[in-house]
Structure 1
Amino acid sequence: MNADVWDTIGQLARYFEEHDTGLGLAPEEQWTLQVLKIAEETGEASQAVIGARGTNPRKGTVPWDDAHAEIADVAITALIALARMRPDGPAEYLARHLAAKSAKFLPPAPTVVPGPTERA
């Protein structure tokens, strides 16, 4: 992720933290509510997928773009939660965690063995 994305995520995290602090919520309460917000966004993404598949006859269908937007909302909300819970370096934490998780599924990067050096 580029620095602009993390800068925006950091700004949003600070905004919501200031708002919640103004309401008198302790950090752990704020984090709990942020995680619940992720769950809410996930529910909206689920509803959009159901709508895109047209499996709820009462509601008709919606375009897949609606589902894509809701998935993006889940990701944004999760990144804000991480930034609020790990203000000391959420990008680095995410990178380390992603590396550990992906190592379970992806083959290791090939090792490049340098060839003999050419003399001038």
Structure 2
Amino acid sequence: MLGELFTGLDTERGMTPEQQWTLQVLKLTEEVGESAQAVVGAWGTNPRKAQGSWLHVQEEVADTAITSMVTLYRMLGAQAPGFLAEVLAQKSARFKEL
């Protein structure tokens, strides 16, 4: 799994868990930024670049989702799936109330 691989490599480099988590969150924000750039490209609003595609946007959003999952795993380990399910249930319940 990617989370285990990255954690192992960073641990070998002497990074504390909190340092690893911080860098992983920064990586996540980088992926979100790439998704935003892809949207700008899909709309063709950057005159310095050729127009992009919505497929590219979808690929960048997928990268963001993958990085989010890796980030949670690196922070919580095997507890990550249960944590995510609990948060999803809480957030879903709010929408059911509407």
Pairwise TM-score range, normalised by the shorter structure: over 0.9
Aligned to 1:25, the other structure's residue is in SS state: coil
- Residue identity over aligned pairs, in percent, reads 49
Task: Give the deviation of 1:63 after TM superposition.
Answer: 1.1
Counterpart position of 1:100? 90
Q: Distance in 1 between matches of 2:78 and 2:18?
A: 16
| TM-score computed with the length of structure 1 as normaliser | 0.78
Distance 1:65 1:87 in 2: 32
Matches within 5 A, 1:57-76: 57-76=47-66
* Alignment root-mean-square deviation, CA: 1.2
Could you tell me which runs of 5 or more consecutive residues in structure 1 were left unpaired when the two chains were aligned.
1-10, 109-120
The amino acid of 1:15's aligned partner reads: L
Q: Which runs of 4+ in 1 moved over 2 A?
A: none
Letter in 2 for 1:18: G
1:45 paired residue number: 35
- Structure 2 length normalisation: TM-score? 0.95
Q: Which has more radius of gyration?
A: 1
